[in-house]
Amino acid sequence: MDIIKSSIKILIARVGKSASQFLAVVLFSRALGASPLGTYYPFIALLGIVSIPATFGLATATEKRISEGEDPERHLGTAITLRLGFVTIISIVLYVGRGYIDQFFGSELALLFIATLFAKQASDFSLNVLRGELRVGETALIEVIRPLCWLVVGYALYLEGFGVRGLIYGYLVGCILMAVVGWWKVSTGVSLPSLAHARSLLSFGKYSAIAETGGYIYSWIDVVILSLFVSYGITATRADIGAYENAWRLTLVVMLLSRSIATTVFPQFSRWESEDALKQIESVIPRATLPGLMIVIPAFAGTTILAEDLLSILFGPEFTVAALALTILAGERILQAFHSILGQVIWGINKPKLAAYPILISATVNLVLNVLLIWMFGIVGAAVATLVSSAVLLGFQIHYLRQFMEISLPIQEGAWCAVSASAMWVVVRLVYESMSVDSLLELAAIVAVGAVTYGLIIVLYKPLREFLTEMTRTALPVDSQ
């Protein structure tokens, strides 16, 4: 599997995915305002939290076992049986407690929530299987289906007067179509489950479950806690939740490349580990980390100037309440560019226990800080909690990885990116103070000025210039097959 080519495929598809998702967020923000989104986002947040026991680590465990190439059919059959059982049990619990679920949402959405849970689990699991087959690039277009349906179906239903419920229906339809296409492309057969294969999956999955818990806490616990505080009138409002989540999603745009590479490298790291080729993993780490850094560092620099304008012009004036939170989250993405890759290394070399420890610690820090800081500072506190817990996670990942291999990070290249971003900041600041930024065109123009400035300076450094040239040469040739 060619990591760069597969990463490019994933990146292209995720650009389309993010474009669809981002356009939907812009349209829904302007049409509905921040408060209704403050109801939709908790629905998706709770869906993620409930997915933790419903999945129980089987997503990564299945991907790992299938990528190893040993009896994949029996592993898949066992994984399907286990996962279906977990989802069914969770759904029964949710149905019994549907009154509390409706109270949390402030609307009768419990049954729709259960249906969406089944559809989401089926769609996500199909992608795990395809990645386990080392067909990461083929998952690219499938990932576009859900946000595209959310945009098209959700907006159509909004026009018909469905309101927030229309957005949820659009998400549900996207999950269903994604599951259909994903399982249609899966080539691994399904054999009868066995107790031995269940033990194999669960032995890996119990640690993966901790990782998934940490991932969901990282992504959604702030929204859940904000929603609980709003429900009890402690702090913040539904509009604050909508504004904060829009800021979060805006910063995800700069993580596209890092996440694409991270998605690609895990099955390859797993294969190299099974072949006892750790040196190959060591050589790839700095090369896998650098492309993301080259994007997130200047993005943070630009956000310190344009945060309020980005939120106001893209979503509306009421979303500017999240300007400071947006800046903090943009800074956190620099740390995420590192730990998104290093985390995949730990899983890939079959050290699930050591992968779980830092995630568990950082998730605990995240949870505690979210409660304290949201209570004290609202959505800014939520952003700070994310930043601190991300730094804790990265520190522990580096510490554990150094017990097994030499870790080489692109420090010099990253430093030059910081120098280039600083020069870009000066230019953008001068331009910003000399003009008004009142429209999307003016915002795009000032962003373009920054991008050109950064690009011109960054290629002055020979190692980065050679790296970019090599990436371009590797990505451009078309496969002959």
Query: What distance in Å separates the CA atoms of residue 440 and residue 413, rounded to the nearest whole number?
Result: 32
Higher pLDDT, 357 or 93: 93
Domain locations along the chain: 3-409
pLDDT, one tens digit per residue, over 42-91 is 898 889 888 888 887 788 788 878 877 778 888 888 988 988 999 999 99
pLDDT at residue 273 is higher than 60: no
Position 479 scores a pLDDT of 44
Is the model's pLDDT at 478 over the cut of 50? no
Structure confidence at residue 274 (pLDDT)? 58
**Mean pLDDT value of segment 367-375:** 94
Confidence band of 389 (pLDDT split at 50, 70, 90):
very high
Beta carbons of 47 and 116 less than 8 angstroms apart: yes
Amino acid present at 144: V
| Tens digits of residue pLDDT in 390-424 | 999 999 988 888 888 788 888 899 999 999 999 99
pLDDT by residue (tens digit) across 170-207? 999 999 999 999 999 888 888 888 888 888 888 777 77
Q: Write down the pLDDT at residue 267.
A: 58
Range in 109-123, 276-290, 433-447 with the lowest mean pLDDT: 276-290
For residues 278 and 373, the model is more confident at: 373
Least confident range of 105-114, 190-199, 260-269, 445-454:
260-269
Q: What is the mean pLDDT of residues 362-379?
A: 93
CA pair distance 333, 200, nearest whole angstrom = 34
Pick from 19-23, 73-77, 419-423, 426-430: least confident: 19-23
Banded pLDDT at 427 (limits 50, 70, 90): very high
Residues 6 or more apart whose CB falls under 8 angstroms from that of 439 comprise: 313
How buried is residue 219: exposed, middle or buried, by Cβ count under 10 Å (0-12/13-18/19+)?
A: middle
Examine the pLDDT at 7 and tell me if it is beyond 90. no
* CA nearest to 348, candidates 277, 275, 265: 265
Region of poorest pLDDT, from 4-18, 124-138, 251-265, 459-473 = 4-18
Q: Report how far residue 345's alpha carbon sits from residue 379's, in angstroms, rounded to the nearest whole number.
A: 32
Name which of 61-75, 143-157, 252-266 the model is least confident about.
252-266
E strand intervals along 167-266: none
pLDDT, position 272? 65
pLDDT higher than threshold 80 for residue 258: no
Range among 33-37, 237-241, 349-353 rated most confident = 237-241
Q: What is the pLDDT of residue 11?
A: 62
Query: In one letter, which amino acid is 113?
Result: F
d(CA 339, CA 391): 9
What per-residue confidence (pLDDT) applies to 476? Answer: 46
C-beta atoms surrounding 5 within 10 Å: 17
Residue-level pLDDT at 69: 74
d(CA 13, CA 122): 20
Residue 107 predicted with pLDDT over 70: yes
The per-residue pLDDT for range 307-350, each reduced to its tens digit, is 999 999 999 999 999 999 999 999 999 999 888 888 878 776 76
pLDDT of residue 193: 83
> Residue 383: pLDDT band by 50, 70, 90 thresholds?
very high
For 35, residues 6+ apart whose C-beta sits below 8 A from its C-beta are 237, 238, 239, 242
- pLDDT, residue 311, reads 95
User: Average per-residue pLDDT in the chain?
Assistant: 84
Q: How far apart are CA 327 and CA 322, in angstroms?
A: 9
Question: What is the rounded distance in angstroms from the CA atom of residue 400 to the CA atom of residue 65?
Answer: 23
Residue type (1 letter), 112: L
SS3 call for 459: coil
Mean pLDDT of 366-378: 94
